[in-house]
Structure 1
Amino acid sequence: MDTEQNQEFVFTHRDYHSHEGVFFGHDETTGFKGIIAIHSRKRGPALGGMRMSLYPDEPAALSDVLRLSEGMTYKAAAAELKLGGGKMVVLADPKKEKTKDLLLSAGRFVQLLSGAYITAEDSGTNLEDMLVINQATEYVVGIKSGDPSRLTAYGTYLGIKACVEFKLGKKELRGLKVAIQGIGNVGSKLAEYLYQDGCQLTVTDTGEEKVKRLSENNIKFNFVKPEEIFSQTVDIVSPNARGAVLNENTVPQLKCTIVAGAANNQLAEEKIGSRLFEKDILYAPDYIINAGGLLNVYMEVENPDKYDDKVAHRRCEPIYQRLRNIFTESQKRKIPTHKIAMEMALRNLK
C-alpha cells in the first residue's frame, strides 16, 4: 500500500485549516483509494467515521474529508471529550464496489497511523463493515456500542426540543410542522421521535427505498421533491443528509423559524450562519446538536468492556442545555449562534 502527502495541493486548498496531517492511501490489488484527515489531536486521538461514497472527483473527496475532520475537532471539544478530530473517506460506491478485500485494505490504512486516528462507521459503512475492518486494525470503535445513528438522532431530538422551548416558548412539539431533508439512518429515527411527539412531517430523500421504509413504520408524512424541501412553510427545517445544504440558494427560500438537524457542516460558508441570524431564524450549530453518535462511541474509547446503552442515552442529555446556553448567549450579545458555538469549542482547545 502506498501512502503520501500531496503537500502543494492540500496546503493551498480552501478547506485546509491547519490540519495536522492528510494521508492518501491506495492499494492497487483491491482497488482501495482513501484519504484520512487529522485536524487536531490537542484533546486526544483523532476520532471520526469512515465514509464511503462515489465522489464526483478526487478534489471533492478531499474537500469533504477536510471539512468533516475539522467539524469533529469542534464536536469533541464542545462536548468536552478527550478526543481530537479526524475523518476518513473511501472513494468507492458502497452499493457496488464494497468488498471484504477493499475493507481490509481500509483497515490496514488506518493501522498505519498507529492510533493517531480511530475510525468508526459513517455514511456508506455499517457495523458489519467495522467488524471486517477490525480484522486489520485495532483502532476502530462502534463494535460493541452498535449503530451510532440512533444516539445521533436522539441527541438531535433533544436539541430540537431545546430550540422549540427557546424560540417558540413551547415545551411540547405537538402540532409543529417539520421539514426533514434526508431520511437515512439518522433522519428516519429522528422522524420517529418527532412523529411520536405529534409533529406534522414533510420529508424528502433521493432514495425511494428509504421513503418506503419510513412509510412501513406507520409514520404519516408528506413527501416533496428534494429541491422543494427548503421552501416549505414549516416551523422547523431539519437537514439530515449531506453538508453545505444551507447556502446562498437555499437560505432565501426558508420559511421557518428554526433550523436544526443532524447533518455535518450544514453551513456552506461561515457567513451563511450570519444570514440565518439576520433572518431571525434560530440555527442549532451542527456539531453541538449532532454529538450523540460521538458520545456513544466515546464510551468504547473510555472502557471497551463496559458499554451501557442507558448511560449512552443519558450522556446525550447535556446537548439540550448546551444549546440553551448558546442561544441565551447569542441573544444577550447579539451574535449568531454558530459563532458562540465556535467560541465554546475553541476555549476547550486551549
Structure 2
Amino acid sequence: MSLFEHADFDQHEQVSFFHDKESGLKAIIAVHNTKLGASLGGCRMWPYASSQEALTDVLRLSSGMTYKAALAGLPQGGGKAVIIGNPRSDKTQQLMYAMGKAVDTFKGQYVIAEDSGISVQDLQFMATQSHHVAGTSAKFAYDGSPADGNPAPSTAYGVFMGLKAAVEHATGSDLNGKTVAIQGVGHVGLRLARHLKNAGANLIVADIFAEGLEIAKNELGATVVDPNDIHAVDADVFAPCAMGGAINNASLSQIKAKIIAGAANNQLATPEMDVLLKQRGITYVPDYLINAGGIIDIFHQRNDSTAEKMRAQLEQIGQTVKLILGRAQAEDLPTGQVANQIAEEKFRA
C-alpha cells in the first residue's frame, strides 16, 4: 500500500495504522494539519471493502477537517479516524477500548469525536483509555434542549442554515414550496428533514436502512425512493447526507437539482467535479463549509461558552455560504476553489 504517492495524500503530518489482535481492531488515524491547533475529527466505523479504500477515506476526511475548522474560524487542525468493520455486527466494548488506546498515542495532537457508526457510548468507552476524546457529554444544546454529547443536532442545524442561504442566493426566495431530495436520513439527515419541513419544503428521501425512512414518510410526509435514484429525482436541491462520492462521473449527468447542499463529507468523487458542476450551472455548497456544525458544537462544549454563542456561530455558516457563493459568482470560479483559497489562507499562512 503506497502512502506518499497516494492521490489523496496532501502533506499529512501523520498517518498511523493500528491493529489489536485481541479485540480485532483494524484502524487508521490521520492527522492532516495542526497549524491552527491540535487536530480534531470524528471516528467512522464502516465495512470498507479493503484497507486501501479505508486509507482513501481517512486521508480525504482528515484534510477536509482542516479546511472545515479554518472556514469555521476555529483554532484547531484537522484529523480523522476510521475503523474497518460493520458497526451493526462487529462493534464491541473491547474494540472501543483498543481504539481509545490508539488515540492516546497521539498525546493530544489528535482529539477523537463521533462520526458514522460511532455513538456517544462508544466514545465513553474510548475515554476510559484516553483523555483526548470529545463528545462524551455536553453542557448545553444550541436550542436549549437536553444535550448528551451527540453533535448531530448542531450539524443538522448548520446544514439547514447553509442550505437555506444557498436557496436564497440561487433563487432569490425562501424554502417554502421547494423540493429537497435527501440522500440518507440518519442522525443528521433526519434532523435536517425536520428543519426543512418546518420551513415549508417538500421532501424526497432515500436510505439503505428502513428506520429513518419510516419516520420521514409517516411524520414528515416525505416521498421515499430507491437509493439508486435519489440523485436523479426532480428537485430544487439535492442534499447528500450519507457516505461520500455522491457526485461522480455516473451521477453528474443525471442530477436535475440546480443546488447541491448536504451534510455528507467528500461529496465530490474527484476535485474536478467542482468545475463540472459549475459548467452545468449547478450551485454547489462545499461540504466542509456547510457541515461544520459538529466541530463547532464540540469546540463550544470543550471551552468556556454558552448555548447562545454556539447558536450564533452555527448560524454564521449561512452567512459564510452567501459570502463564498457571491465571490464565486463575481469571480466566475467554482465554489469549491473559492472556499479552498479562503481556508488555505488561514492554515497555510
Deviation at residue 317 of structure 1 after TM alignment: 1.1
What SS class does the counterpart of residue 49 from structure 1 fall into? strand
Deviation at residue 233 of structure 1 after TM alignment: 1.2
Q: 205, 211, 214: which one pairs with 1:212?
A: 214
Distance in 2 (alpha carbons) for counterparts of 1:234 and 1:213: 21
Alignment RMSD: 1.1
Matched to 1:188, the amino acid is L
- Name 1:229's counterpart in structure 2: 230
Q: Which string of whole-angstrom CA distances, capped at 9 and with x for unpartnered residues, describes residues 243-268 of structure 1?
A: 11101111111111111001101111
- Name 2:69's counterpart in structure 1: 76
Q: Does 1:238 align with 2:235?
A: no
Q: 158, 171, 193: which one pairs with 1:155?
A: 158
- Name 2:341's counterpart in structure 1: 343
What SS class does the counterpart of residue 81 from structure 2 fall into? strand
- Name 1:270's counterpart in structure 2: 271
Deviation at residue 348 of structure 1 after TM alignment: 0.7
User: Which ranges in structure 2 are unaligned for 5 or more consecutive residues?
Assistant: 139-148
Q: Does 1:199 align with 2:201?
A: yes
Matched to 1:185, the amino acid is H
Structure 1 length-normalised TM:
0.94
User: Which ranges in structure 1 are unaligned for 5 or more consecutive residues?
Assistant: 1-7
Question: Is 2:205–2:216's contact at 8 Å kept on the other side of the alignment?
Answer: no
Question: Counterparts in 2 of 1:67-146, with a 5 A limit?
Answer: 67-145=60-138, 146=149
Question: Counterparts in 2 of 1:280-299, with a 5 A limit?
Answer: 280-299=281-300
- Name 2:329's counterpart in structure 1: 331
Question: Counterparts in 2 of 1:308-319, with a 5 A limit?
Answer: 308-319=306-317
What SS class does the counterpart of residue 265 from structure 1 fall into? coil
- Name 2:185's counterpart in structure 1: 183
Matched to 1:336, the amino acid is P
What SS class does the counterpart of residue 278 from structure 2 fall into? helix
Distance in 1 (alpha carbons) for counterparts of 2:44 and 2:274: 26
- Name 2:57's counterpart in structure 1: 64
- Name 1:3's counterpart in structure 2: none
Distance in 2 (alpha carbons) for counterparts of 1:316 and 1:52: 26
Matched to 1:208, the amino acid is A
Deviation at residue 106 of structure 1 after TM alignment: 0.2
Distance in 2 (alpha carbons) for counterparts of 1:184 and 1:34: 23
Deviation at residue 215 of structure 1 after TM alignment: 3.5
Distance in 2 (alpha carbons) for counterparts of 1:169 and 1:118: 40
Matched to 2:65, the amino acid is M
Deviation at residue 144 of structure 1 after TM alignment: 2.4
Distance in 2 (alpha carbons) for counterparts of 1:211 and 1:226: 11
Matched to 1:164, the amino acid is V
What SS class does the counterpart of residue 12 from structure 1 fall into? coil
Distance in 1 (alpha carbons) for counterparts of 2:275 and 2:125: 43
Deviation at residue 312 of structure 1 after TM alignment: 2.1
Question: Is 2:324–2:339's contact at 8 Å kept on the other side of the alignment?
Answer: yes
Distance in 1 (alpha carbons) for counterparts of 2:206 and 2:156: 17
Question: Counterparts in 2 of 1:160-175, with a 5 A limit?
Answer: 160-170=163-173, 172-175=174-177
Matched to 2:185, the amino acid is I
Deviation at residue 270 of structure 1 after TM alignment: 1.0
Distance in 2 (alpha carbons) for counterparts of 1:84 and 1:66: 14
Matched to 1:207, the amino acid is F
Deviation at residue 34 of structure 1 after TM alignment: 0.8
- Name 2:143's counterpart in structure 1: none
Structure 2 length-normalised TM:
0.95
Matched to 1:320, the amino acid is G
Deviation at residue 120 of structure 1 after TM alignment: 0.5
What SS class does the counterpart of residue 25 from structure 1 fall into? strand
Distance in 2 (alpha carbons) for counterparts of 1:317 and 1:276: 26
Percent sequence identity over aligned pairs: 39
Distance in 2 (alpha carbons) for counterparts of 1:168 and 1:285: 18
What SS class does the counterpart of residue 229 from structure 2 fall into? helix
Deviation at residue 302 of structure 1 after TM alignment: 2.7
